[in-house]
Structures are given as structure tokens and as C-alpha cells.
Structure 1
Amino acid sequence: MGREDTEPEVPVDAVGRRVFCGGERATVRYVGPVPPTSGLWLGVEWDNPERGKHDGSHNGVQYFTCSHPKGGSFVRPAKATFGVDLLAAVQQEYLINPEKVLSEDVSVSCRKLEWEGVTERSFQDLPSVVLNNSPVNGPGAAGEIRKTLPNVCWLDLSGTLLSSWEDVAAITEQLDKLEGLQLHRNRLTLPSEPSAHCQAFCNLKVLALNQCQLTWPQILECAIMWPRLEELFLEENNITALQRPEAVLQTLRSLSLVNNPLVDGALLGISALPRLENLNLSGTGISVIQFEAAAPGEQTLMFPALSVLNLSNNHISEWFVVDELAKLSRLVKLSCKGNRLVSRDGNPKTARQMVIAKLAQLDILDKCSISSEERRGAELDYIKMFGEEWLKAGGPGQPNADFIKQHPRYQELIDKFGAPEESELKKPQPSTLKNQLIKITFVFPGDSDRKPIEKKLPASMDVLKVKGLLYRMLKVPAADLQLSYKTPKKPEVEFEINNDQKTLQFFSVEDGDQVLVRWS
């Protein structure tokens, strides 16, 4: 720790304030001396703990505490920026580059916004203000925001130096037309009286709080401030369980919980939200969804309005989960790619057919519309696929309870198409290696002289073995290899293969795909 000869003035309320330091955001936890050095120090807890050095202690003295054992540092005040008020930030951002007022492409939580009605470069005409990664620390002089930005409907304050919900409310209460607010990557202390700030967010419909280290109880504590909220984005937070909202979030139509570490069974806590239509649970680690109060083939009273559900990139491997989804009365759009729902023949196309056959009301699966021809083919194939088991379980009379539990829609399909002829039945086939082989092409983006290599590999082959094969071909250690793949269905997208223990099939690598091989 060095010494600065000149020290700038530190705000009286510095502890708890947010600062920029060396391009990173941090929260001030301590202001004062750190013997044996002279002068003033700021003890900071970094948003990115990898930036830190210790837990807030020095030479055996604990000056402050951190949530991460290496998340703290001491910095000189001259190295830290405490930021500016909102209007000063607007002036810096937009007057330096006036063209942004008309030309900036604005996005709020994946939603593109238009500059409708803007004819002059005037702050008073701005419908949206984007201050992403700007050093905004508060509202500034009372009433000035209302005078200067009277028409703002959308506000992006992601990655700023705001430190509390009171600071946010002091800004939004002056924006009478505000409907959308984006606050990604902030660290906001909870309000002491949330109900006192309802007016500040009275027209808010869209709120985005990704990467804010929030828990669900904290969301529920704040939710009374958002009486008309319709869309809530809470991706990559610290949400595990989902306690039942009481008298809050009742207007919510869309909820995104992407990449939160949810525990199985958590969904039941939000199942009574009366207007929830769209729920994104991608990457949450769930493996089971059950609505036990409803018998197989019946519909549940839970999630009464849910029509769009994203379950991609989770740990779902049991087909009964799909049968449980059939109990959702309004579900018409489902994404479930990146799970381990495997058919007997190991063919992803067969697995898609099974999902379609099990979910009668589904219109869109994994972003692809289900045509009437595809549905008819999937349902007929499903009848043939499990016809022999149906016959053994009782057939045209009354199949036994176990068969009904595993195939709750089967009798409905028999009523629709008729019972299968014995010659049509698809007898269960062992999942042979030949049936599972897929042709993939290895390409090497970092080595232009190396030609692509085609291989036929089992879909059940795990990534570690693929890397072993590549080691024998390339003489590059498996630990240094990074894999991804591209598919002709989405040539513009590159999908990561980031778990050595998973199979090619787990990552949905299919026949004809390209595997991109890079190494360090």
C-alpha cells in the first residue's frame, strides 16, 4: 500500500456509497487510516471479488467485512470516483455526442425501443434515457429532473453508482411517464419503508434487475413499491426458493429467472400468480416439476394463465415431467432444449415427437411451430411406439394404473385415431451404437492450415472422451481444448460445450453439426 501526497475530499457519508475505481464498481465499507501507513484510505468491497486482495483486514486488524474472503481492498481516495447526479450524467453522455439523442439504438431487457415523435435534439423530447455504466449517484437538485426530462418513459441505469432504492425512487418520482426501468448490475440497499415509495413507481410496467445479487425475499420486500408491474427480469441473481407473494406482484404477466440456482419444488411458491403468462426458467438447474394435487390426465389449478414456459438447459431427464406440464391448462409454447429427455432410440427427433404427443395443446416447441401434419405424425407414431405395452397393460379394456400414469394421453389418442394394428406396432429396440451414431465435422478456427475432420461418433459419447480423441489427433492436452458447436438450423449461433461429464446428446449435438475446436 503506497501513499498519495494530495488527498481529495471524501464525502461525509462515504461509507455505503458506490464508487468506480480502475474501471470496476465497488462499495465503500471503511474510511480512515490503516497503520503503519499515513493518510486516508477507503476500504472497498468489489462487485467482482476477483479484483480484491483480502477480507477487509490488514496486519491482523479487521477494518471491514466482505461477503467474499478475497473481495476487499484498500484504495486511496484519489483513485475512486463517487460519481455525479443524473442530469450531469445526461449532459455528459448526450451533449458530448448530440447525435445519440436521435440515433441511439435503445434496448430494455431485450426489447428494442423506438424514438417515436422526436424531431429536435432536446432533452425535453427524449422518450428514453440510457446511462448504462454511467457514474450516476443520485437525483441532484430537487425538481430539476421533472423539468428537464418530462417525457421519459424508459430509463436505463444499469451499472451505475446508485447505492439505495431511496436514491432510485428520488429519480423516478420525478418521471411521471416512466414505464420501463433497467437496473442491471447495481447493488441497492433495501428501503427502510418500501410502501413510502409506491408513488415513485406508480406507472412502472417493466423492471429489469439482472445480476444484482438479489434474493427472492428481498424482491418480495420491495415489490409493494411496484403496484402495476407486468414484466420482471431477475436473471443471474441469488434466488433459490420462491416464497408465495402475498398481496404483491398480482399484476405480473412475465417473469424471467434465468440462471438462478432454484431448488426443485420452488415453482409452487409462484403458482398462484393470477396473471402470469410467461415464465423463463432456463439454466436454473431444476430437474423435477410436479402438480401432485391433479391426477394424471387432469388439469391443475396452478399457474392459471401460464401460456409460455422456457425450461431450456436444465437437468430434466424424466418423461413424467412432460406429463406434468400437460396439466397446465393454457400452455401453448414450450422450450426444453438442453435437457436430457432421451427417447428409446436416442434420436432427438423422436424425443420431439414424444413431447408433441404428450402435450395436446402445444403450438410451438423449441421456437419451431408445430404444424397439423407434424402433430398428426407424432401422435400416430406415439401410439405405435407404446402399442405393445398398451396391449400388455390391458389394451382396449382398461389399461392398468402404471400404464395410465406413464402415458396419461394414450387413451385419448386411441379415441382420436383408433387402436393400432399389431403389424403397426413398433417393438422396443435396444439403443444400439449403430442407431446412435452421428456424423460431425471438427473445424479449427484458430488454425487455418488444418483441414476439417469428419467423424461418426455415438451421441452418447461424453465430452471428455471426445477431447481424448482430439488429443490423439492433434497432440493437444485435453485440458487445453475448448469446444463449441454450430448447427445448420441456426448457422449464426455458436453453442458452448462446457461440461466434460455430459454427452454430445446432452448438448443437442446432432447429425451434420460442426464442432469448433480451439486451444490455449
Structure 2
Amino acid sequence: MTTSIPPDAVGRRILCNGDYGTVLYVGSVPPTTGIWLGVEWDNHQRGKHNGSHEGIQYFKCRHPTGGSFVRPNKANFGVDFLSAVREKYGLNENEQDAENGTEISIVIGRKTVENIGFDSIKQKQKQALACAVSWPALEELYIESNDISHLERPVDVLHNLKWLDLSNNCLTDGNQLHLIADLPRLERLILSNNGISSINFPDVGFGYKTAMFPSLTHLILKGNRISEWSVINELDKLPKLQSLDCRNNPLMDTDKNKETVKQLLIAKIGQLKFLNKSQIFPVERKGAELDYRKKYGLECLKAGGNQDPSKNNPSEEFIAAHPRFQLLCEKYGFPEDGELKKEQPFSLKNQLLKLTFTCPDKPEQKPIEKKLPDSMTVQKVKGLLYRLLKIPGSELKLSYESSKMKGKEFELDNDLKPLQFYSVENGDCILVRW
């Protein structure tokens, strides 16, 4: 624990008696004396109030009982990245042999690695990284749960690092990631439970790929404080990102329909192949991107967009909010008038679809009209048809024809997906074959 308060304490992560929190206020709390830290706890059960005391609001919490005040000497603000490396891997900065430049050996597991002298390393932070110099072939580094709050740029070391675990630390400032963004071979970065709320790559604008994290394919951001879609837009700048895990972030609760949030994430990051440990199949990506066009087509028109490519010039604000919209329109075409979606309030009535079931290969079978929830899976639809037509579901093949795109047929080829996944809408026709 520390009695000193860092000058940038507000926004920093702390650890107090085993609980993690974020400092949102530093100052006095009358009628008491002395300085207090106003903290919002990750576990709201650790808190007592919403940031107010005796009618005065000192800070605001997302949960009504997620905050409390603690004395500075009870808070652990953590250590910097390089100090954690030194502590984790046993580098003793006062070791006489190291200071004299004498070669020593370090044993990791059952392997002994050669250790070069430290005489050329003078700065304290560089001494901490000297252990990395000793391991030129190091590929995996685990420094989770070390209360790291600041990173240092690793210079001339860790060139072969492929896996870095910084989970359960205090890296609330996403800009800290810029300091490790030049690691040339880093493929997997684990940043779970750090309190991160923003990430940005300012070296390029939207539609371009950043030079940062050139080899990063897997990014784990579970349990952070990400609530803005702008963060997801930034992640699309990563040139090789294929897998993202962003569960347990406020962003995942921005829509009552979890499938909608998933579709937006897929549509916003073009090269993603895995999301929250689930594979993204080509048909799923196509459905998400088509629906994204429909969802934001009206907004684009209001912002200066146009179905005529020669007149299509949406505002900078729209492009910043939806960087991939123009690219998707180039890929699929601008949505037609009949495809444009108007936002509906969430209710069961608005989620019921009036559908017509026809059997194109059995003209003697009369069409059947049914109202079904858009969350109903293809498998359950087949179960319903079994009861209506007495045809085993395993023999049924379903597709649908949009009421707005006559003559175009879309296959419903995944029994576990809901109707909304395929963008089935009110008035569409389900084609049944067996």
C-alpha cells in the first residue's frame, strides 16, 4: 500500500483488500478531515453508495451502490510494467554480479539460459528489462495480476515475443498500449479486467490499417469498461486481427437483443473470423453486413448520403460513426427504399413476423400463414412444420424470399440460427422443400 497519491490518480485503477476499482475523485469529504479517494468498484457489492455523501455528489457510478470512499494509504496503485517484469522473473537490480557485468545464469523451469552483463544498462527502467535481453528467443510472457498501471517502451528486446498476458492489472489508459505497439511478432495480447474504456490508433484515419501491432491476430478484452462503438471502429484498423473476445463489457448490453450486438460487431470489423470464442461463418458475416446496411441506411441518407454513387457524400460525423458503411455499399450496393429499416421500440409485438409458408414443389399444398417471433430458430421452425405437414424436420430444406426482393431466394442453412440472423422480415415467404 502507498500513502502517496499519484498526480494522475483520477482514472487510475487500484487494488484494495483484494478488490479492484477505479478512482473517480480525489479530495476532501466534509465534515471529515484529510484526503479521500472516491472509488467505483468492479464488484458493486463492495461499494456503499453512488458517489454522494450527505447530499453532495462527488462522483458518479454506473451502479447505485458501486462506490465508496477510501483513504489513500489503503489503496495500491500498482507498479509499472518493467518493475513487474523484474519482480516476476527474479531480476535483482542490486545484484553485485549484474552491476559488475559478470555473466550469470538464469534457470527457467529446467532450462538454463545465458545471461549477458548489465554494465551498459544504466537507467533503472532499463535494468528491469535486462532480463528480456537475456532471453532473445522469448515467445510468451505472463505478467497477469501484478498491479501494473504504466507501460514502458521495450527497446531492442522482446523481438520474438508472440504472446503477452497483461490481464488483471490496472492499465485503464488505452494510450498505454501504444508503448508496446511496435513488438513485431506479437500475435496474442490478453488485456482482460484492466478497466480499459478506450483504445485508439491515431497514426491513420478510418478506412486504413495502422502500423501498430503489425502481427496481432488475437485480442482479449474481457471484463473491461468499453461502452462506445468508436472503440470497435478503431479495432478494425488492426491489419491482422482475426479473433476478438470482448465479453463482459458495457458495450455488450447496449441492445436488449444480444444477436443485434453480435451482428454489429461482425459488420464493423471486416477481417474478424472469431468473436467471443465463436467462429464467424461466411453466411453469418454476409447476413450481418447486409443487415448493417439496412439498419443505418436512413441515417446515411439524412447525413448527406445518396443511393446514386455520384451523389453519395455523407458527413464526416457519419463516416466516423460508421467507417465501413461505404465499403459495404460498394460490396452489396446501397440499400433500396424497401430495405431501409426504421427503428422500432423493443416489444414482443414488434418482434413477431407475419410469414407465408409455401411448398413450391407441391402445388397442391395450400400456403400457410403464421406469426412467429424473429428469435425463433430454424430448428424450431422445422418442428412447427413437422406438426403442420407431418414431414420429419430432418428432411425439410428451408429458404426464404424477401417481399422486397422478389425472385431472390436465401437459404436457411443453419438450424441453430434465429430468423433474424438471416434478416427475415415481416411479409416474407418461407419456401419449404423435402
**What TM-score range do you get, normalising by the shorter chain?**
0.5 to 0.7
How many residue pairs align between the two structures?
A: 249
Residue from 208, 225, 243 that aligns with 1:333: 243
TM-score, normalised via structure 2 length: 0.52
Does the residue aligned with 1:304 lie in a helix, a strand or coil?
A: coil
* Secondary structure, aligned partner of 1:240: strand
Matched, 1:300 2:215: no
The alignment status of 1:309 with 2:211, answered yes or no, reads no
Preserved contact between residue 244 and residue 276 of structure 2 (Cα < 8 Å): yes
Could you tell me which amino acid in structure 1 is paired with residue 300 of structure 2?
W
Change (3 A) 1:328 1:357: same
1:364 aligns with 2:274: yes
Where in structure 1 are there 5+ consecutive unaligned residues?
A: 1-47, 51-182, 206-214, 437-520
| Aligned match of 1:276 | 186
- Is residue 251 of structure 1 aligned with residue 160 of structure 2? yes
- Shift in Å at residue 307 of structure 1? 0.5
1:106-125 equivalences in 2 (<5 Å) = none
Checking the alignment, whether the CA contact within 8 Å between 1:333 and 1:362 is kept in structure 2 is yes
Following TM superposition, by how much is the alpha carbon of 1:415 offset from its aligned partner in structure 2, in angstroms?
A: 0.8
Note the 1:280-291 alignment, pairs <5 A: 280-291=190-201
1:220 paired with 2:135, answer no
Say whether the 8 Å CA contact 2:93–2:128 is kept in structure 1. no
Q: Deviations over 1:7-42 (max 9, x none)?
A: xxxxxxxxxxxxxxxxxxxxxxxxxxxxxxxxxxxx
**SS across alignment from 1:415:** helix
CA distance, structure 2, for counterparts of residue 423 and residue 49 of structure 1: 58
1:344–1:431 Cα contact (<8 Å) kept: no
TM-score by length of 1: 0.44
Residue in 2 that maps onto 1:232 = 141
Letter in 2 for 1:268: H
The SS at the match of 1:386 is: helix
Residue 355 (structure 1) aligns with: 265
Pick aligned residue for 1:263 from 163, 169, 172: 172
Quote the offset at 1:187 in angstroms.
7.5
> What's the Cα RMSD here?
3.3
Percent identity for Structure 1 against Structure 2 = 46
Q: Within 5 Å, give how 1:68-107 maps onto structure 2.
A: none
- Post-superposition shift, 1:272? 0.5
SS at match of 1:309: strand
How far did 1:345 drift?
Answer: 3.9
- 2:319 corresponds to: 404
Q: 2:330 aligns with which of 410, 415, 434?
A: 415
Q: 1:307 to 1:197 in 2, by over 3 A?
A: farther
Distance in structure 2 (CA, Å) of the matches to 1:303 and 1:291: 10
Q: Secondary structure at the residue paired with 1:279?
A: strand
- Measured against aligned partners, the alpha-carbon deviations of 1:190-209 in whole angstroms (never above 9, x if no partner) come to 4632875575469779xxxx
Distance 1:274 1:185, change over 3 A: closer
Give the equivalent residue in structure 1 for 2:4: none
Structure 2 contact 140–161 (Cα < 8 Å) conserved = yes
Is 1:428 matched with 2:343? yes
Name the stretch that deviates more: 227-236 or 194-203. 194-203
Letter in 1 for 2:239: S
Distance 1:273 1:189, change over 3 A: same
Q: Residues 145 and 168 of structure 2 are in contact (CA less than 8 Å); yes or no, is this contact kept in structure 1?
A: yes
- Residues in 2 aligned to 1:315 and 1:219: alpha-carbon distance in whole angstroms: 30
**d(CA) in 1 for partners of 2:264 and 2:298?**
16
Native 8 Å contact 2:133 2:157 kept in 1 = yes
* Other-structure match for 1:492: none
CA deviation after TM superposition for structure 1 residue 222, in Å: 2.9
Unaligned runs of at least 5 residues, structure 2: 1-15, 19-85, 114-123, 307-311, 352-434
Match of 2:425?
A: none
| Mapping 1:421-500, distance limit 5 Å | 421-430=336-345
The separation in 1 between residues aligned to 2:322 and 2:194, in whole angstroms, is 27
- Find the aligned partners of 2:275 and 2:296 in 1 and give their Cα distance: 22
